[in-house]
């Protein structure tokens, strides 16, 4: 093994959570740790906009360089839903609108990205892990209406417009779940999904949005899925998927976030 590569892997920063609505001593001790690179917030960390602002200010006061993130996509995956936060639609609704009116769907996607990012940034949250680039095969319960569409071209165009809206409000983006979670039925939060397709099939279908968006994605989150005909490891822990495919073949140079390590 290349010693330099091994050493760099040993010092990758961790994004951790905090326990409640405000920081306690355990939270502060972990945030101060030099290997802490970010804090992810959940619904349990939210009571009101004012409370969220105080929490984010406290985190940034302790570590100005720490990234505060949240899973805030719209639809059923939106952590903050009250006290002035807009209820964002599921991404599938944008795909359905595309089938009726392409231009209207593109505008709606940009508007959604802007509202999503502007509301979070106003409270001190730096990043939302969005957009979902999985294809809507109609088979995955955990993805379901979080996906824009079955057609990778539509997914790419709508995601590009969401990303534009995010950018207008000063937020980066994160495409997930590379190379695609939509074809497997198992929920990776509680099981280990296995995708039996070949590499060429995956690259020519569900991975296409990553190829087409590679220069505009600022970060990517791999899937906790084993693609057994490609590698024995889940994509998020696979040097082949992350280095040989995502970095070298698809020319992605942004940040890579693991999905939740407790899954």
Of 189, 191, 244, 251, the active-site residue reads 189
Of 136, 145, 195, 259, the active-site residue reads 259
182 torsion bin: left (phi>0), alpha (psi -120 to 50), beta (else): alpha
Place of tokens 């099981």: 191
Q: Which of 79, 57, 67 lies closest to 14, judged by CA? A: 67
- DSSP structural state of residue 216: T
| Whether residue 259 lies in the annotated active site | yes
| Whether residue 57 lies in the annotated active site | no
Q: Which two tokens stand for residue 29?
A: 């001790």
Facing residues of 14 across strands?
36
- In angstroms, the Cα distances linking 216 to 22, 151, 171, 233, 255 are 35, 19, 13, 27, 12
The catalytic residue positions are 189, 259
């Amino acid at each position: 093994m290349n010693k330099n590569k091994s050493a760099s892997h040993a010092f990758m920063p961790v994004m951790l959570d905090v326990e409640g609505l405000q920081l306690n001593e355990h939270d502060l001790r972990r945030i101060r740790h030099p290997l802490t690179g970010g804090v992810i917030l959940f619904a349990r960390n939210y009571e009101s906009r004012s409370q969220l602002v105080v929490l984010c200010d406290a985190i940034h006061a302790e570590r100005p360089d720490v990234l505060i993130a949240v899973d805030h996509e719209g639809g059923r995956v939106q952590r903050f839903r009250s006290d002035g936060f807009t209820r964002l639609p599921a991404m599938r609704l944008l795909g359905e609108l595309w089938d009726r009116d392409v231009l209207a769907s593109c505008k709606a996607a940009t508007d959604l990205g802007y509202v999503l990012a502007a509301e979070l940034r106003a409270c001190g949250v730096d990043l939302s892990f969005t957009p979902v680039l999985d294809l809507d095969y109609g088979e995955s319960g955990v993805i379901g209406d979080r996906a824009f569409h079955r057609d990778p071209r539509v997914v790419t165009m709508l995601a590009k417009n969401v990303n534009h809206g995010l950018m207008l409000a000063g937020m980066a983006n994160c495409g997930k779940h590379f190379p695609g979670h939509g074809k497997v039925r198992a929920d990776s939060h509680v099981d280990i999904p296995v995708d039996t397709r070949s590499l060429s099939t995956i690259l020519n279908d569900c991975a296409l949005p990553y190829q087409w968006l590679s220069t505009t994605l600022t970060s990517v989150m791999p899937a906790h899925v084993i693609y057994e005909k490609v590698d024995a490891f889940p994509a998020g822990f696979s040097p082949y998927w992350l280095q040989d495919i995502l970095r070298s073949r698809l020319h992605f140079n942004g940040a890579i976030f693991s999905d939740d390590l407790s899954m």
